[in-house]
Structure 1
Amino acid sequence: MSAATLLSFWAFALLFVITPGADWAYAIGAGIRGKGIFSAVLGLVTGYVLLTVIVAAGIGTLLAASPVLMVTLSIAGAGYLGWLGIAMLRNPPVPQAAASQGPGSSQVRSFINGTLVSGLNPKAFMFYLAFLPPWTSTAASWSIGLQILALGVVYTASCAVVYLMVGFGANATLRARPGAARAIGRISGAIMLVLATLLLYRAIGAL
């Protein structure tokens, strides 16, 4: 796989990474709290690493071929996003100085939630299935699986950089403004609820 191919894919994938969605909302929430930004983004990245391995191993194609499994994944993802959205609406994130939860448990929770947010996202799963294989070539010296892994690494690295910027940007902007932090936190929660509703609607429509 040539460097030109990887660079072209990176430019293409970056358009998706910089588009606000559930990942952005989650990173903003972590940024508002001020602690757990790295663990939250690491969780998001871990979810994408798992998706990369699944698609590279060929398991993704088998899953996509099963309507029941795809609907189940969509419902699970919608349910989890909805749960997080409701939690952020009821208890919007605040700067860590005003929070009462312990740092250790908070960071572990941030990591687990981040992994589930990205790992259970059917839109991310379909992105991997739809857009990674077309950038591979049977004429390349690498196997298709290795090429997909390389593309997944490029996408995941882009996610890590952008989401860290989003998280720390939210922290720098809102840490001294608790009122604004709560408002943005609730907006992020509302975004998650909207996305969860759309996912659930599409899942029901596929039945």
Structure 2
Amino acid sequence: MDSGTLISFLAVDLLLVCVPGADWAYVISAGLRGRSVGTAVGGLVSGYALHTALAVAGLAVLVAGSPALLTGLTVAGAAYLVWLGWGVLRRPGMPVEGEPAVDGRVFLRGATISGLNPKGLLLYLSVLPQFLTTGDGRLPVAAQTATLGLLHMACCAAVYLAVGVLARRLLSARPAAARAVTRTSGAAMLGIGTFLLLQHAI
């Protein structure tokens, strides 16, 4: 795998990661509700670690070849986003100094969101395979998949940590703005989940 391929993948991957979605909404909400941004991001990254492991094992090909299974995963992820988004809208929360964070719950929610995130499924099932190469002297496909998966995880960690920390620092002294951003994050999760559910219901 040459450097040109890695740079091309990195450019595409950064574009996808920098597009606000469920992951962004969750890390912003976690930060503004007094949760640990690092724990939330760790959960999100662990979900993509699972995606990477499944892709390396070849299970991503199986999922891609089974429309019913892919639809089931998408619907499950969409339903979870609706539930989580509604919870944030009902209790938007505010940054509170010294508020105890339930790290295990924050981590697991992050892992579930990224593990079922339709954007993540798109990356691993449609985008990533386009950067795999075969031929003499090439790395095995599994090793290439692992490399690209790790690169994606690193991009997610960097971008989401920056988003979460900036949101907390910029909004911690602005209660009204923080509440509005948190509600917007909840609405984004609710909207994305509802859209996906309606899309699969048609």
TM-score bin (small chain): over 0.9
Query: Does 2:113 correspond to 1:117?
Result: yes
TM score, norm. by length of structure 2: 0.94
The residue number in structure 1 matching 2:97 is 97
The residue number in structure 1 matching 2:22 is 22
User: What is the alpha-carbon distance in structure 2 between the residues aligned to residue 146 and residue 69 of structure 1?
Assistant: 25
The residue number in structure 2 matching 1:5 is 5
Of all paired residues, the percent bearing the same amino acid is 46
Q: Work out the number of aligned pairs and report it.
A: 201
Q: How does 1:5-154 map to 2 (within 5 A)?
A: 5-97=5-97, 99=99, 102-103=100-101, 106-139=102-135, 140-154=137-151
User: What is the alpha-carbon distance in structure 2 between the residues aligned to residue 122 and residue 168 of structure 1?
Assistant: 25
Structure 1 residue 123 displacement after superposition: 2.8
Structure 1 residue 7 displacement after superposition: 1.7
CA deviation profile, 1:182-206 (whole Å, cap 9, x unmatched): 111111000001100111122223x
Structure 1 residue 98 displacement after superposition: 8.0
Structure 1 segments of 4+ aligned residues over 6 angstroms from their partners:
none
User: What is the alpha-carbon distance in structure 2 between the residues aligned to residue 170 and residue 142 of structure 1?
Assistant: 40
CA deviation profile, 1:85-141 (whole Å, cap 9, x unmatched): 001100013103285xx33xx211110000000001133112211111111111253
User: What is the alpha-carbon distance in structure 1 between the residues aligned to residue 54 and residue 198 of structure 2?
Assistant: 25
Question: How well do the aligned residues superpose, as a CA RMSD in angstroms?
Answer: 1.4
User: What is the alpha-carbon distance in structure 2 between the residues aligned to residue 93 and residue 10 of structure 1?
Assistant: 35
For structure 1, list consecutive stretches of 5 or more residues without a partner in the other structure.
none
Structure 1 residue 47 displacement after superposition: 0.4
The residue number in structure 2 matching 1:202 is 199
CA deviation profile, 1:50-101 (whole Å, cap 9, x unmatched): 11111121101111222221121111101110011001100013103285xx
> Retained in 1: the 8 A contact 2:33–2:92?
no
> Retained in 2: the 8 A contact 1:56–1:145?
yes
CA deviation profile, 1:149-198 (whole Å, cap 9, x unmatched): 10111111001000000000000011111221111111100000110011
For residue 95 of structure 1, give the secondary structure of its aligned residue in structure 2. coil
Structure 1 residue 4 displacement after superposition: 2.5
For structure 2, list consecutive stretches of 5 or more residues without a partner in the other structure.
none
The residue number in structure 1 matching 2:185 is 188
User: What is the alpha-carbon distance in structure 1 between the residues aligned to residue 142 and residue 133 of structure 2?
Assistant: 11
